[in-house]
Amino acid sequence: MRHMTMFAQRVCSMLVGAFFAGAFAFTALATSPGAIAFTFTTIDVPGATATAAYGVNPAGQIVGEYTDASGTLHGFLLDKGAFTTIDVPGATGTGAGGINPAGQIVGGYTDASGISHGFLLDKGAFTTIDPPGAALPFTFAFGINPVGQIVGVYVDASNTAHGFLFANGAFTTIDPPGSLFTEALGIDARGEIVGHYAPPGGTLSGFLLAKGTFTTFDVPGAFETRGFGINAAGQIVGDYFDTTGTEHGFLLDKGTFTTIDVPDALATLPTGINAAGQIVGDYTDASGTQHGFLATP
> pLDDT tens across 141-195, in order?
999 999 999 999 999 888 899 999 999 999 999 999 999 999 999 999 999 999 9
pLDDT in the model for residue 4: 43
Cβ(269)–Cβ(247) below 8 Å: yes
Query: How far is Cα 138 from Cα 112, in angstroms, rounded to an integer?
Result: 14
DSSP 137: S
pLDDT under 50: residue ranges of the chain: 1-4, 9-33
Query: How far is Cα 111 from Cα 65, in angstroms, rounded to an integer?
Result: 17
Task: Enumerate residues 6+ apart whose C-beta is below 8 A from 192.
Answer: 208, 209, 210, 230, 234
pLDDT in the model for residue 158: 86
Query: How far is Cα 149 from Cα 16, in angstroms, rounded to an integer?
Result: 27
Cβ(162)–Cβ(192) below 8 Å: no
Query: How far is Cα 140 from Cα 97, in angstroms, rounded to an integer?
Result: 8
Cβ(291)–Cβ(53) below 8 Å: no
DSSP 209: E
Whether the CA torsion 202, 280, 109, 147 is positive or negative: it is negative
* pTM for the structure as a whole: 0.89
pLDDT in the model for residue 197: 97
User: Which domains can be identified in the chain, with CATH numbers?
Assistant: 25-296 (2.120.10.30)
pLDDT in the model for residue 198: 95
Query: How far is Cα 18 from Cα 214, in angstroms, rounded to an integer?
Result: 16
Q: Please count the other Cβ atoms lying within 10 Å of the Cβ belonging to residue 246.
A: 13
Nearest to 22, CA basis, from 232, 206, 165? 165
Q: Which amino acid appears at position 86 of this protein?
A: I
Whether the CA torsion 178, 254, 280, 221 is positive or negative: it is positive
